């Protein structure tokens, strides 16, 4: 088994919505790989969308503010989109999060045909920045964060992510997304560590 090095960052990097704050990075993100071009994939059937996803209260509010338009695309009533209970967690923007519901073995926001994320597709069609409505955990996947640590998602570590193994590194796959959420200075430091 390979041992990965956890590195402290030069200083904390705060997400544009206030949380999370990254203080460390697992250098496995610079060598582990995955097939990052999701919409060009013909073998996974969006398996990473099977369980729903954590979504912070700020993003829930942004989605619900556009619910009339999004509901038409999703085809599921808005009161069936999210689990009813929120959990307090300082690492999520707004300090709370819930999960998207799972329906027929997939996230309620996963489209059937064409496939992919309905929130992402709606945003592109509506001319809205998808970061406004797509959960940050989804955008950063297959990277995630816990206790200030930026690291590979569980699906990479346990080998269950069908698309793991070839393609760009986890870091390179979401580098631009990290810059969006945490700023260019984080990416500059990660580039140097890479």
Dihedral pair phi/psi, residue 83, rounded to 5°: -60, 145
| Count of the separate structural domains present in the chain | 1
pLDDT (tens digit, 9 = 90+) per residue, 48-68? 556 789 999 999 999 999 999
Residue recorded with tokens 């979504």: 55
Q: Is the pLDDT of residue 37 over 80?
A: no
Nearest partner of 71 among 101, 105, 108, 98, judged by Cα = 108
Judge whether 51 lies within some domain.
yes
Question: In angstroms, rounded to a whole number, what is the distance separating the alpha carbons of residues 82 and 98?
Answer: 7
Structure tokens given for 67: 């619910």
- Quick one: average pLDDT of 180-187? 98
pLDDT (tens digit, 9 = 90+) per residue, 93-123? 999 999 999 988 888 998 776 667 899 999 9
Q: Is the pLDDT of residue 160 over 90?
A: no
Domain extent, residue 90, equals 6-193
Judge whether 139 lies within some domain.
yes
Q: Is the pLDDT of residue 150 over 90?
A: yes
The helix, strand and coil proportions of the chain, stated in percent and rounded to the nearest 5, come to 40, 25, 35
Q: What is the pLDDT of residue 53?
A: 92
Judge whether 1 lies within some domain.
no
Residue 1's pLDDT band, with cuts at 50, 70 and 90, is very low
Q: What is the pLDDT of residue 40?
A: 45
pLDDT (tens digit, 9 = 90+) per residue, 20-34? 999 999 999 998 876
């Amino acid at each position: 088994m390979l041992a990965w090095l956890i590195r402290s960052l030069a200083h904390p990097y705060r997400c544009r919505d206030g949380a999370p704050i990254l203080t460390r990075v697992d250098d496995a993100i610079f060598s582990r790989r995955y097939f990052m071009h999701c919409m060009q994939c013909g073998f996974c059937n969006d398996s990473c969308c099977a369980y729903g996803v954590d979504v912070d209260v700020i993003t829930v509010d942004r989605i619900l503010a556009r619910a009339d338009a999004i509901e038409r695309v999703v085809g599921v009533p808005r009161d069936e989109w999210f689990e009813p209970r929120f959990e307090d967690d300082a690492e999520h923007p707004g300090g709370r999060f819930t999960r998207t519901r799972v329906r027929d073995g997939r996230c309620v926001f996963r489209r059937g045909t064409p496939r992919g994320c309905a929130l992402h597709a709606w945003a592109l069609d509506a001319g809205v920045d998808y970061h406004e409505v797509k959960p940050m955990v989804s955008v950063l996947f297959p990277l995630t964060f816990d206790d200030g640590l930026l690291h590979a998602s569980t699906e990479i570590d346990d080998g269950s992510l069908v698309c793991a193994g070839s393609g760009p590194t986890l870091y390179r796959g979401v580098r631009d997304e990290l810059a969006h959420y945490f700023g260019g200075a984080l990416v500059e430091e990660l580039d140097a560590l890479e």
